[in-house]
Structure 1
Amino acid sequence: MSRSALILGAAVALIATPVLAGEAACWFENGVVVVGAEVMGVSGDYILDTATPHTVLADSQAQTAGFAETALVGEVRLAGVALKDRRVAVEGVDLRTGALPTPIAGIIGADVLRGFVLDVDFKPCRVRLSRRASSRFAATTSLPMAWVAGRPVVRAAVADGAHAFAGAFTPGVGADTAVRISDALARAPGAPKPKEVYPYGVTFPRLRALSFAGGLTENLPAGLIEAEDPALAGQLGAPLLSHWRLRFDFPGRRLYLAPRLAKAPKGHVHGV
């Protein structure tokens, strides 16, 4: 084999090697993490949400790109990692993105992320994807993580004074409310417009207490979500999760939390 053929062969091998880890800047605003990504060849700003079970391309973006179908299969690129043959739903995202200052091209969901270790730092906002937890992460809390209805879940407990229960809550870095509870388990009887206490609404009743990751948070904004699975008690959103740096070790089924602030967030009591 000639020298030129050897060099060419090496170049082809490098191009074909998949990227196993990558990092990207993001931004955290109005309670959600947004990151630059590419879905089905459409580049733009995407909400990154571990509590959304499937990846979405906005219908307006899909139409502009020439897609007529509502269920697509193609490539997703995030943080320098390219993932082929991913299922992508085409849906409207306007209700979810109205409070954001720039157009949103879609949502990167848990289906794309679950084969990776995902690190999220909210300030400065950075996300990192890797196939294994090789880098150091100074976690102070480690929680077992399971899957319910296509979403990762961890254990948390809520109370309104008269009632309390513990269950599986999905942590969402793209969920804009501190906590939402399944409407099979909770009500908001004082809400003048009941629909406004659901996602994308503007009414946020106060929850008496949330126990999570060894601490207690009191009198925090809350809401409801529609009951999709009896095993899913609710959702923990980015306004709560942003008090830590996070590592979602999806292959290892653990959620790690590392302190981000010099002191505990207001209303948070450690050791409860």
Structure 2
Amino acid sequence: MVTADRSRDRVQSIERGMAVLRVFDGPERRLGASEIAARTGLPRPVVRRILLTFEHLGYVRSERGQWSLTARILELGSGYFAASSLPELAHPILLDIVAELHESTSVGVLEGTDIVHVARVDDGRPLGHTLRIGARLPAHATSLGRVLLAEKTDAEIAELYRGVPLERFTPRTAARLEELLAQVAEARESGYDVSIEEYNPGMLAAAVPISVEGTAIGALGVSSTTVREDERSLREVVVPRLRAGAAELARAYRDANPRPFRNR
């Protein structure tokens, strides 16, 4: 969170440019300038200048008035997805979990009040919705989110959600801070979280933190449907496998990135 005394240091044009790029996070691959302006809340002339700048840099292209990203956009994430990064190290571990449990598996990190999926392997069966790398979901309504919120104190969580409404997606979603804090406290004590139809009806999930020397660098989770799993199977079968996978991933990350942990 950027504090008020540092807001003067922000570059508004960069913030606007990033807002334009983030519009391309949905299923639509091509968007018109007017639609981008509507989604970002920016004036259309501003959006047009931003798009022309990104076109000059090679990150977007225009065809018949429709704008789309180019493959060069992948350069922006190449450092994060380096050989020693969490997503790269997680992939073979996710493959093993999917082969064993036959359920889709993800690694997520906390960004503000959202969980961002940075690695994912699907088992190939339909889940009713598709998650891809980079997908953002509300932390308060997801198991991946709550196990990472559990790394924070209640005061830090209250500050994080100050002025941020807790949207109720289903009747099971925590819509009050007190409810969320109770769920997070349970996840903090047990070391895992289970979500039953809190974000999507018919969907459930379980997650554990990926902890390296006492610091959670992400969370590892499995998502499924109420047809294939229930709360008992999540707790008794899925969570133990996730814990083993998280421990393996934590060791791999620690070995690949010794410098950040040298003085801990």
Higher helix fraction: Structure 1 or Structure 2?
A: 2
The structure showing larger relative contact order (alpha-carbon pairs under 8 Å, at least 6 residues apart) is: 1
